[in-house]
Amino acid sequence: MQDIQVQTASPEECDKVALLLKKNGLCIADIDSGLNGFVVVHNNGNLIGTGGLEFFGKAALLRSVAVDTLYRGQKVGKKIHDELIKNAKEKGVKSLYLLTIDADGYFQRFGFKTISRDSAPEPIKNHAQFTELCPGSAIMMQKTL
């Protein structure tokens, strides 16, 4: 990786972000076209990673973290995580939540712990990711900031 840059996503990148999410088997049905709360990672101008946060007061939902398969194992996901954590702290978030089907081991490396879906805050439980888009078998995880 020669020129890697992590930055706030722009609305113009929505199609590229959606394509990367689709390639990684992630849902795009509720992605805001403005990509509010999203960051992107570029390498030499090419989109190679993304991730987002949705804010609910002192809680946030971490979602749509994806890295191009050619760049996995090169700490791109860590860069996304670190930028999203910084953004969450700047907004006063105290707890991050996420739902995953098969990446729980990955997120444990960053301090996320598996929790009961029932213990999530109401705004998270009412989110489309929780109620419609992720299967009931998805693992709920939480991290305290």
Containing structural domain, residue 131: 4-144
Strands 59-67 and 95-100: parallel
How does pLDDT run along the chain (145 residues), one tens digit per residue? Answer: 567 889 999 999 999 999 999 999 888 888 887 899 999 999 988 999 999 999 999 999 999 999 999 999 999 999 999 999 999 999 999 999 999 988 999 999 999 999 999 999 999 988 878 877 776 778 999 999 9
Integer Cα distance of 97 and 123 in angstroms: 11
Secondary structure E strands in 9-119: 38-43, 46-56, 59-67, 95-100, 113-115
pTM: 0.90
Count up the domains in the chain and report the number. Answer: 1
Cβ contacts of 105 within 8 Å, gap of 6 or more: none
> How many angstroms separate the Cα of 17 from the Cα of each of 8, 44, 76, 119?
12, 16, 15, 31
CATH number at residue 84: 3.40.630.30
